[in-house]
């Protein structure tokens, strides 16, 4: 008993002294934390009320301003609000404003952390914020709640130390009674670093090496990334992505897999030329790969692709004069494989199945066999290119529905992010696919499965619940299948900001003049553009009918407005695409024939490959851009047009059936099936005042600037980093438990 008291009494006294000394520090920390929170609230309130407040000020109605301030003070922490004019004039304030706060003496409250003020009613926190429209907003926060919470914290702290002291004293007494000498020896061993990783007095156990390695790796990760990047306050750039890879991913290799390659080498007139394909996927991914380096695996389909690769089918890109930034690994397909995998199952089966464009999908067993074989071929390429057991693999689009599972089988530790660029249909539509279970099984080999919109995520989870045996968590948006967890997430794709061509592009005035000169149109002639692959989902026929309807309803535009359609040929081996191109050509010719009396053509149709620089010039020189997709995952043409207009001019007409319509409501939103509505939208766009154009364009440009392609990629890679950390922690915990057994 005497030995026990020698332990318990000094321990309780020491803990009591420590608790007494810690209380003032806790009070100061509480005050600092709450002051910082109030500053954040003040910034948020000032930013939110800036525009409506100045609208009220311009009306001169003080009663309405006071009523507006009174509604703000209904928040329990906001005690009073006042507005001080920039120079002269009477301030407007709520009746609760303390007498000590005067507009003429705000200087003492302008410190970065605000200031505390003792009033007759208690302590208050003063925040002074300048407004964009002029004047200052004074926010007075009630601080009495801090005293209440400080008392509660002191009570909790006292009880915590009492419980801690009793617990430690009890454990110490028990250990001392059992074996004082053994306890001292154990403590000395722990201080020497012995124990789990090197048990005291025993030889090193080889079975514990994986545990030690995993724990050390986890500690390194936690030390390297104590705080994750706050995506709401980060300007996403290529440097941000590189920092992410070096920090959170610790330089992990990134492998991208897509059917479409970013650069195509074509032989023309005895020379090898480099083409950039007309692909939204390439537009989005190429700047990301320049930032991240790594390897891009794609189908080599160019006539000179084999002539420029090395012995391992690789080539450094981008081509000169730009410095190489990453490796392009080309995969070769036979004509039979390409016909079945690409033209067959992917584009005659999955493409129409996932798009509501009223084209019946075609499924053939031979196409499915070639599709599966091509996916296995790409899986072997991924395994060959991987330099580690746990790379980050980004699988893109509907061409590779089976690939995630195949990669998982060859690289179990890999983090696989699959992004499905096209819409995902409802379960009833997807259920007609004869190999639906195999497709879903392949996709669920992914660590993360991404879609453009939440609607498509919901459709995918509905499909899983309806068609296969898996556990779906609707709250966390995960699917548990075959003992593996797949996160289903929304990642709206975007474009590079600022565009790499912006620095070298001609001015808007020069682009306008060049466009009109190229097509023989006079200065001031209105031009509308459409930029698409010649695909039936893009609504080119519907767009041309709307142009025709505009001239029927508003004949004054004849000879004053021309619509230029840039259409890149695509999937020309498929009969339906051949028929679609013929219909588009016939429709454009018929419209021009009908209005041939006009001084200038109604429609100019250019069905050919267009380099990105040429398309960028059209974006900058046109008055209207028309995007009338019948069904689209995102549609990056809309975002490219907005990003190109640094003059804040031009009007975007956008189909409601695109993912972009959910992000760009300032565009003129239309139903492409409603011809009259589209014609009315064209009339609205052509007559829209410049002030309204600038207001709409500024909002859209700000959104694309903030939510650019680097943020899109950064969110996916950051989620992958978090998943890897959780997986490593879980693996370590399981290993420790097994070793203990």
Token readout for 657 is 């059936």
The pLDDT tens digits of the residues spanning 631-683 come to 999 999 999 999 999 999 999 999 999 999 999 999 999 999 999 999 999 99
Burial 529-546 (b: 16+ CB within 10 A, else e): bbbbbbbbbbbbbbbbbb
Average pLDDT over residues 464-469: 96
∠ Cα 331 434 575 (to 5°): 60
Of the listed ranges 264-268, 433-437, 580-584, the one predicted with least confidence: 264-268
| Between 566 and 278, the higher pLDDT residue | 566
Beta bridge partners of 127: 139
Residue 209 has pLDDT above 80, yes or no: no
- The residues, any chain, with a CB within 8 Å of residue 501's CB and separated by 6 or more, are 612, 613, 616
The number of C-alpha atoms within 13 Å of 389 and in the hemisphere containing its C-beta is: 2
- What is the average pLDDT score of the chain? 84
Residue 19 has pLDDT above 80, yes or no: no
Q: Under DSSP, is residue 630 helix (H, G, I), strand (E, B) or coil?
A: coil
Q: Under DSSP, is residue 605 helix (H, G, I), strand (E, B) or coil?
A: strand
Which residues of the chain are in CATH 3.30.450 domains? 2-147
Whether the CB-CB separation of 317 and 325 falls below 8 Å is answered with yes
pLDDT at 667: 97
**What is the layout of strands, in order, in the sheet containing 78-84?**
92-93, 78-84, 136-142, 122-130, 115-119
Cis ω before 603 (30° cut-off from 0): no
- Is 508-706 a domain of CATH 2.120.10.30? no
Q: Could you tell me the pLDDT band of residue 199, with boundaries at 50, 70 and 90?
A: very low
Q: How is 403-435 classified by DSSP, letter by letter?
A: HHHHHHHH-TT-EEEEE--S----HHHHTT-TT
Give the integer Cα–Cα distance in Å for 384 and 386.
6
What does pTM read for this prediction? 0.68
pLDDT at 6: 60
pLDDT at 253: 86
Of the listed ranges 118-122, 308-312, 523-527, the one predicted with least confidence: 118-122
Give the integer Cα–Cα distance in Å for 286 and 326.
10
The number of C-alpha atoms within 13 Å of 336 and in the hemisphere containing its C-beta is: 4
The pLDDT tens digits of the residues spanning 171-188 come to 766 665 555 455 555 555
pLDDT at 60: 75
Residue 285 has pLDDT above 70, yes or no: yes
Burial 135-150 (b: 16+ CB within 10 A, else e): bbbbbbbbbeebeeeb
Give the integer Cα–Cα distance in Å for 92 and 497.
42
Q: How would you classify the pairing of strands 484-490 and 526-533?
A: unpaired
| Between 542 and 496, the higher pLDDT residue | 542
pLDDT at 47: 78
Give the integer Cα–Cα distance in Å for 677 and 96.
53
Q: Could you tell me the pLDDT band of residue 49, with boundaries at 50, 70 and 90?
A: confident
Of the listed ranges 77-81, 108-112, 497-501, the one predicted with least confidence: 108-112
pLDDT at 721: 83
Average pLDDT over residues 495-502: 83
pLDDT at 202: 46
The pLDDT tens digits of the residues spanning 71-104 come to 777 765 677 888 888 776 677 888 888 877 778 7
The pLDDT tens digits of the residues spanning 223-238 come to 444 444 454 556 788 8
pLDDT at 178: 53
Q: Could you tell me the pLDDT band of residue 736, with boundaries at 50, 70 and 90?
A: low
Whether the CB-CB separation of 24 and 144 falls below 8 Å is answered with no
Average pLDDT over residues 21-45: 72
Average pLDDT over residues 265-274: 90
Residue 189 has pLDDT above 70, yes or no: no
Token readout for 169 is 């004293």
The percentage of residues in the chain with a pLDDT greater than 70, rounded to a whole number, is: 82
Residue 221 has pLDDT above 60, yes or no: no
Give the integer Cα–Cα distance in Å for 522 and 383.
58
Average pLDDT over residues 379-386: 96
Residue 562 has pLDDT above 50, yes or no: yes
- The residues, any chain, with a CB within 8 Å of residue 23's CB and separated by 6 or more, are 154, 157
**What is the layout of strands, in order, in the sheet containing 448-451?**
314-317, 326-331, 295-299, 254-257, 392-396, 415-419, 448-451, 484-490, 478-481, 471-473
pLDDT at 145: 67
Give the integer Cα–Cα distance in Å for 596 and 546.
18
| Between 100 and 587, the higher pLDDT residue | 587
Whether the CB-CB separation of 341 and 373 falls below 8 Å is answered with yes
Q: Under DSSP, is residue 187 helix (H, G, I), strand (E, B) or coil?
A: helix
Beta bridge partners of 266: 273
Residue 201 has pLDDT above 50, yes or no: no
- Is 2-147 a domain of CATH 3.30.450? yes
The percentage of residues in the chain with a pLDDT greater than 90, rounded to a whole number, is: 54
The pLDDT tens digits of the residues spanning 333-354 come to 999 999 999 999 999 999 999 9
Give the integer Cα–Cα distance in Å for 332 and 402.
18
pLDDT at 370: 97
The number of C-alpha atoms within 13 Å of 114 and in the hemisphere containing its C-beta is: 28
Give the integer Cα–Cα distance in Å for 340 and 347.
10
Q: How many helical (H) and strand (E) elements, i.e. helices and strands, does the chain have?
A: 22, 23
Whether the CB-CB separation of 553 and 518 falls below 8 Å is answered with no
Whether the CB-CB separation of 535 and 577 falls below 8 Å is answered with yes
Average pLDDT over residues 305-312: 94
Backbone angles phi, psi at 638, to 5 degrees: -60, -45
Q: What is the 3-state secondary structure (H, E, C) of 223-273?
A: HHCCCCCCCCCCCCCHHHHHHHHHHCCCCCCEEEECCCCCCEEEEECCEEE
Q: What is the 3-state secondary structure (H, E, C) of 26-81?
A: HHHHHHHHHHHHHHHHHHHHHHHHHHHHHHHHHHCCHHHHHHHHHHHCCCCCEEEE
How many Cβ atoms from other residues are within 10 Å of residue 384's Cβ? 12
The pLDDT tens digits of the residues spanning 384-433 come to 999 999 899 999 999 999 999 999 999 999 999 999 999 999 999 999 99
Q: How is 284-348 classified by DSSP, letter by letter?
A: HHHHHHHHH--EEEEE--STTHHHHS-TTSEEEESPTTSPP-EEEEEE---HHHHIIIIIIIIII
């Amino acid at each position: 008993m005497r030995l026990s008291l020698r332990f318990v009494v000094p321990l309780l006294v020491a803990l009591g002294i420590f608790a007494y000394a810690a209380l003032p520090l806790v009070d100061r920390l509480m005050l600092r934390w709450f002051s910082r929170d109030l500053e954040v609230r003040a910034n948020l309130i000032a930013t939110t009320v800036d525009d409506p407040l100045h609208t009220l000020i311009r009306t001169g109605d003080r009663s309405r301003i006071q009523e507006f301030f009174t509604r703000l003070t209904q928040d329990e922490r906001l005690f009073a609000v006042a507005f001080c004019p920039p120079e002269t004039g009477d301030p407007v304030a709520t009746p609760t404003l303390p007498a000590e706060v005067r507009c003429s003496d705000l200087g003492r409250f302008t410190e970065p952390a605000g200031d505390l003020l003792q009033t007759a009613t208690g302590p208050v926190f003063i925040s002074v914020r300048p407004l964009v429209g002029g004047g200052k907003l004074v926010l007075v926060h009630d601080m009495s709640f801090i005293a209440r919470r400080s008392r509660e914290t002191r009570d909790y702290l006292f009880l915590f130390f009492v419980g801690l002291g009793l617990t430690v004293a009890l454990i110490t007494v028990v250990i001392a009674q059992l074996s004082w000498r053994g306890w001292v020896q154990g403590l000395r061993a722990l201080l020497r670093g012995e124990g789990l990783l090197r048990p005291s007095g025993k030889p090193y156990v080889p079975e514990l090496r994986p545990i030690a390695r995993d724990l050390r790796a986890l500690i390194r990760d936690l030390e390297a990334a104590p705080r994750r990047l706050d995506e709401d306050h980060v300007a996403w750039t290529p440097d941000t992505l590189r920092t992410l890879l070096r920090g959170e991913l610790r330089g992990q290799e990134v492998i991208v897999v897509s059917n479409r390659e970013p650069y195509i080498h074509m032989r023309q007139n005895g020379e090898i030329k480099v083409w950039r394909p007309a692909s939204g996927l390439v537009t989005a991914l190429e700047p990301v790969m320049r930032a991240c380096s790594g390897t891009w695996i794609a189908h080599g389909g160019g006539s000179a692709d084999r002539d420029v690769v090395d012995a391992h089918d690789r080539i450094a890109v981008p081509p000169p004069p730009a410095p190489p930034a990453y490796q392009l690994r080309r995969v070769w397909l036979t004509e039979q494989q390409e016909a079945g995998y690409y033209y067959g199952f992917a584009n005659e089966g999955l493409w129409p199945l996932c798009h509501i464009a009223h084209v019946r999908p075609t499924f053939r067993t031979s196409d499915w066999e070639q599709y599966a074989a091509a996916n296995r071929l790409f899986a072997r390429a991924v395994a060959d290119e991987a330099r580690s057991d746990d790379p980050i693999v980004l699988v893109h689009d509907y061409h590779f529905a089976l690939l995630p599972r195949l990669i998982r089988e060859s690289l179990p530790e890999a983090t696989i992010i699959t992004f499905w660029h096209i819409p995902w249909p409802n379960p009833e539509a997807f259920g007609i696919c004869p190999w639906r279970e195999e497709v879903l099984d392949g996709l669920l080999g992914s660590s993360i499965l991404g879609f453009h919109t939440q609607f498509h995520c919901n459709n995918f989870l509905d499909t899983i619940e309806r068609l296969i045996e898996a556990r779906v968590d609707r709250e966390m948006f995960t699917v548990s299948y075959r003992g593996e967890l797949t996160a289903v997430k929304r990642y709206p794709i975007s474009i590079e900001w600022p565009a790499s061509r912006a620095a070298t592009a001609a001015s808007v005035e020069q682009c306008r003049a060049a466009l009109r000169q190229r097509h023989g149109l006079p200065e001031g002639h209105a031009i509308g553009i459409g930029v698409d692959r010649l695909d039936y989902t893009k609504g080119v026929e519907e767009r041309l009918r709307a142009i025709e309807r505009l001239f029927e309803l508003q004949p004054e535009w004849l000879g004053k407005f021309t619509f230029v359609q840039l259409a890149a040929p695509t999937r020309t081996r498929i009969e339906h695409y051949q028929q679609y191109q013929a219909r588009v050509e016939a429709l454009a010719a018929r419209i021009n024939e009908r209005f041939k009396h006009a001084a200038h053509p109604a429609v100019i149709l250019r069905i050919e490959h267009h380099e990105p620089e040429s398309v960028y010039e059209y974006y900058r020189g046109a008055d209207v851009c028309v995007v009338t997709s019948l069904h689209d995952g995102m549609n990056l043409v809309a975002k490219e047009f907005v990003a190109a207009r640094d003059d804040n001019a031009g009007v975007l007409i956008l189909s409601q059936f695109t993912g972009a319509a959910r992000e760009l409501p300032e565009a003129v939103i239309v139903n492409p099936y409603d011809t009259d509505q589209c014609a009315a939208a064209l009339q609205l766009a052509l007559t829209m005042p410049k002030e309204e154009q600038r207001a709409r364009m500024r909002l859209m440009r700000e959104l694309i600037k903030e939510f650019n392609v680097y943020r899109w990629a950064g969110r996916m890679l950051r989620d992958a980093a978090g998943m890897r950390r959780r997986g490593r922690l879980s693996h370590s915990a399981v290993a420790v438990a097994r070793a203990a057994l």
